[in-house]
Structure 1
């Protein structure tokens, strides 16, 4: 069911984990390159592919779609072609990606009666057209990121893990489809340049690295080279949340993970994640999840 792989080539080393969930294939990989270069990939499988770029910048050309995409870490899309041929150019020395492959018939079964966008996408898939769900790649916001981390760090085994992977794969489908609908409703993009987009992604990464001791807005702005107005508005546009709201989400989901997977007390977790008091943490946790931290510990 789990298949870890380490592959070393002339351009670097890729560490990959693949999970088999009956016909669904789930994968997570980190590639550490030794130089900026390009390489090709191909497949003859007839599947629908979810692609999540979690970290790093890269471009890839997709022969079946006759398109080249220039991507910055923190993006997602869903694509279909009967087999694919791509060429990838890495723009950073580390690239982290996550992917899910749905058999064509199973994906259509899940989506043929969904919203209009997914129904049209399913119709194109049934006609075996090469197609991307959205011409605009979505941003990996907090809800999507949390599901990705839950899969990567899943502690379940056996049939329970299969159910977990299936449920989370469908959850990602729903979250991605909703993200594209929200993006289509935005009439004007505030963050237009690639440089500013990279800086907004850097803000997210900085928050993730310093959840327990987060920098204030002034420090973040100085670190990434944006003024506070552009920082706040650009972050809200990209991740559909404020900087403080995103930080709160990350803290509470991390706390939930600690309660499930470690023996740390709620008080220890609250201090580790930067809460002023355990009571403050308890109140925030109950507001978010509807239960107390101890309830998670007592009912895993």
Structure 2
């Protein structure tokens, strides 16, 4: 049973495929409270936190976690009983639920962490991939954005979403295979500051702060900011800015009536020529060619 009087606004988007369900939830709360949820679904869930903070209690695993945006993990449950206590007024999550048999077919051919997890699913043992929730890196965030902004219809849509769901699983398996010893960023406080830095860059992509300015905004020195950002998100600060700009440009070119020149200025380029060169270097084609031929492949 869900407790809903605490919810001010709820935005949910669902994609239903054969043996896979994808959900994107944005919850705005009136206050801080606990919400219990129980169901009998047998599935494997790829769970991604995108923004907000909450405490998460998982009865089947006898485990509790304190989570904030930009985290991920994989869970298997033969039935589900969870309790969520929101610690922020807005929480955004994204998830992919695989039918257990479908997941087993894929997961048993994965790397070592994925094989061990899949073995538990085969034996119907409630499981979580790791007790340590990893931070969403740039590649993971890009794929999530591609799914949320999917423009395909019918059979092509299903094929696209299936391929991106498997891609997310591969990226998670890779992330959890990486060694965590000798990490440069060791404290939750520093991790949270770097997540804040990423959010600032995302919200100001048209005019991002310099590294010096960003360092002062989040209260961390420049060296730790640059090295920690790359460690946590798998790309440099400049690489992140470039990637977000290019992803936004492609989405605007394909999904709006805006010209390439308008898009160039909107995402922060000083001239359409610089934007066109950067876009072509990234995708191999010019922005105008995409605008004039939206069915071309990039």
- TM-score grouping bracket, smaller chain normalisation: over 0.9
> In the alignment, is the contact (CA less than 8 A) between 2:47 and 2:74 conserved in 1?
yes
Alignment of 1:169 with 2:165, yes or no, is yes
Match for residue 105 of structure 2 among 104, 109, 112: 109
Alignment pair present for 1:121 and 2:121: no
Partner of 2:192: 198
Q: Residue 17 of structure 1 aligns with which residue? A: 13
Q: Normalising to structure 1: TM-score of the pair?
A: 0.92
* Worse-superposed segment, 202-211 or 188-197: 188-197
1:269–1:8 Cα change, 3 Å: farther
Structure-2 residue corresponding to 1:247? 241
1:150-195 CA distance string (max 9 Å, x none): 222222222222222212111111111112223xx24223323322
1:32-71 equivalences under 5 Å are 32-71=28-67
Q: Which residue of 2 aligns with 1:4?
A: none
Deviations 1:25-72 (A, max 9, x none): 110111111112111112211100110000011111111111111111
1:178 corresponds, among 158, 174, 180, to 174
Specify which of 77, 81, 87 is matched with residue 81 of structure 1: 77
Note if contact 1:142-1:250 (Cα within 8 Å) is conserved in structure 2: no
Q: Cα deviations across residues 10-33 of structure 1 (Å, max 9, x unaligned)?
A: 212322122211221110111111
1:3 maps to none
Q: Distance in 1 between matches of 2:17 and 2:139?
A: 22
Specify every segment of 5 or more residues in structure 2 that has no aligned partner in the other structure, as ranges: none
Counterpart in 2 of 1:264? 258
Equivalent position SS for 1:92: coil
- 1:77 and 1:8 map into 2 onto residues whose CA distance is 25
Q: 1:207 to 1:34 in 2, by over 3 A?
A: same
For residues 101-134 of structure 1, give each alpha carbon's deviation from its aligned partner in whole angstroms, at most 9, with x where no partner exists: 0000000111212222212221111011111122
Instruction: Quote the residue 1:98 is aligned against.
Output: 94
Which of residues 186, 189, 201 in structure 1 aligns to 2:183?
189
CA RMSD of aligned residues (A): 1.7
Q: Does 1:236 align with 2:226?
A: no
Alignment partners' CA distance in 2, 1:72 and 1:264? 35
2:267 alignment partner, one of 261, 264, 273: 273
Cα distance, 1:8 vs. partner?
Answer: 8.7
Between 263-272 and 69-78, the greater mean CA deviation after superposition = 263-272
Structure 1, residues 222-250: CA drift from partner, whole Å, max 9, x if none? 22222222222221121011111111111
Q: Which residue of 2 aligns with 1:226?
A: 220
CA distance in 2, matches of 1:36, 1:226: 30
- 2:159 is paired with a residue of what secondary structure? helix
Q: Does the 8 A contact of 1:36 with 1:89 survive in 2?
A: yes
